[in-house]
Chain A
Amino acid sequence: MRQYILFKDALKGLWKENPVFRQLLGMCPTLAVTNAAIFGLSMGLATFFVLLCSSIIISIFRRVFPHQVRIASFVVIIATFVTVVDLFLKGNFPEISKALGPYVPLIVVNCLILGRQEVFASKNPLHRAVADALGMGIGFTLALIALASIRELLGSGTIFGVQILTLVGEGGRFRPWIIMLLPAGAFLTLGTMIGISNFFTGRAAKKSACH
């Protein structure tokens, strides 16, 4: 029974309550940095790390925070881990850090992280908070990679820098869709993906309601 609950906590972040497609949380990094799969992956992992670590700390000390200043305390804890991620990226992956620019420090205000702390970590014991953070973090990372891969494939014919479609200039027939590298492409791709996922989940819900 206990394991089942843990499983449910972790799994809901992947699809049923996916932060990007279902809750529409953390839209700022989702839309801003997903023009190449590698940036989607790095942003997803950075957010994942911050979410996991702050969930652990907040869940452990959840009875210590005075109710009136809990949000401020959460933000201080989150900001600590964001600084860790920011310095780590700057030190080890300077190009990625440069490309992500201000969006790494902006993880502090990612509503996905603050939302999970307020809704889940500050009210549940450690093991459930960890399961929730794992599910949400992986769900967020996968969504970002999916979005970024589609944009990179259509925008420059590559996924993770590997040429999939040969461009017109290099003897192939594919002409890159410039719009996919622009902000408009992020909105179009995200909107279409949400639309498609709603179309299929809506259908499934109707079917299960009939039976």
Chain B
Amino acid sequence: MKEEHFLVSTSPHIRSAEDIPKIMYAVIIALIPVAIASIYFFRLWAIKLMAVCIITAMGTEDIFQRLRKKDITVFDGSAIITGLLLAFILPPSLPLWAASLGTFFAIALGKQIFGGLGYNIFNPALLGRAFLMATFPVLMTTWTKPFSLDVVTSATPLAQMKFAQSFVSHQSLFLGNVSGSLGETSALAILIGASFLLIRKIIDWRIPAGYLGTVVLLSSIFWFIDPKGFADPLWHLLAGGLILGAFFMAPDMVTTPVTKRGRWVFGIGCGLILIVIRSWSGLPEGVMYSILLMNAITPLINRFTHPRIFGEQK
């Protein structure tokens, strides 16, 4: 009787030690430099906003999973990431109840209503911001200067370019000493976190490459044609939430195409929409809408970039 020595199991036979919490906590680690930068620039506001968003995100997830009698996965890190990312793309002086409402919306209607992690069509954090933008437009466009503890209204660099034709220096944009959303101001901090994710291969380099590449290409073409009316490519890269969006929002595993070609299409599409919005629309910034719009057509991209099966005849 040697039968028990033959172990029969179904595929997959090669297993990876990676699971959802591991990936999620790696992303959270990558977000730590951004969090430190935002606390450095916006002090108490940053701490409060991040705390409120994370707590609301986890609470909402817990309530919904209890109501729908699903496994409670509050500590797998995905809710923490949604809350943290949403805090990073909100204005620092936003009232905490509004941030809490937006986070509730992001988790409840952006994620849990579709069935939870893995089923959502749109990036929940961006959806939360879009909701807040349409709900409280005035609060969402009240920006503050870094290092100030009172609400000193000041336009973001992109708004200054759009409505006053004045440019902030590249250096301040790179370090983050400008007004803007909590976590988007410091390109340096975001790049430190993003390089960790790229080295660990948690995000696909194709999406940021397609996104940033398209923005650089298009903005340099327009800049060569009309250097006064358009900002230079480097400025476009550093201003606003582009780098944060390109590395932390756009390559979200759930809401992006699964094929390699599809990911290029996704990134390039985001870049195209971003440049169109930044250059010719009434809005100063377009990262949020560019990614949300491409999220919407992700199933379509998946269908059209379906790879050929080996040996298949055309």
Contacts and interface: CB of A to CB of B under 8 A. Distances in A.
Contacts of A180: 135
Interface bracket on A: 10 to 19
Nearest to B108: A192
A188 interface: yes
A188 B109 CA distance: 9
A174 to B, nearest CB: 11
Contact of A179 (B67, B98, B135, B139): B135
A76 to B, nearest CB: 41
Nearest to A175: B136
A161 interface: no
B131 A179 contact: yes
Nearest to A184: B134
B115 interface: no
B151 interface: no
A16 B98 CA distance: 37
A182 B136 contact: no
A195 interface: yes
A178 B113 contact: no
A160 interface: no
A15 interface: no
A175 B113 CA distance: 26
Interface residues of B, number: 10
B139 A178 contact: no
A49 interface: no
Contact of A178 (B67, B109, B135): B135
B113, B135, B136, B137: which has the most chain A beta carbons within 10 Å? B135
A175 B109 CA distance: 21
Interface in B60-110: 67, 98, 109
B136 A177 contact: yes
Contacts of B67: 199
Interface string B121-143: 00000000001001111010000
Contact of B134 (A175, A178, A192, A195): A178
A204 to B, nearest CB: 15
A182 B136 CA distance: 12
Contacts of B137: 178
B139 A175 contact: yes
A199 B68 CA distance: 9
A180 B131 CA distance: 10
Interface string A168-179: 000000010111
B109, B134, B139: which has the most chain A beta carbons within 10 Å? B134
Nearest to B136: A175
B115 to A, nearest CB: 13
Contacts of A179: 131, 134-135
Contacts of A188: 109
Nearest to B113: A195
Interface string A30-52: 00000000000000000000000
A78 B136 CA distance: 42
Nearest to B133: A179
Interface string A186-211: 00100010010001000000000000
Nearest to B139: A175
A175 B131 CA distance: 15
Nearest to B132: A179
Contacts of A199: 67
Nearest to B95: A175
A177 B140 CA distance: 12
A198 to B, nearest CB: 12
Interface string B269-283: 000000000000000
B12 to A, nearest CB: 35
Interface of A: 175, 177-180, 182, 184, 188, 192, 195, 199
10 contacts: A177-B136, A178-B134, A178-B135, A178-B136, A179-B135, A180-B135, A182-B134, A184-B134, A188-B109, A192-B109
Nearest first, the 9 A-B pairs at minimum CB distance are A179-B134, A179-B135, A177-B135, A178-B135, A178-B137, A184-B134, A175-B136, A178-B134, A182-B134
Given A175-B136, A177-B136, A178-B136, 11 more contacts: A175-B139, A178-B134, A178-B135, A178-B137, A179-B134, A179-B135, A180-B135, A182-B134, A184-B134, A188-B109, A192-B109
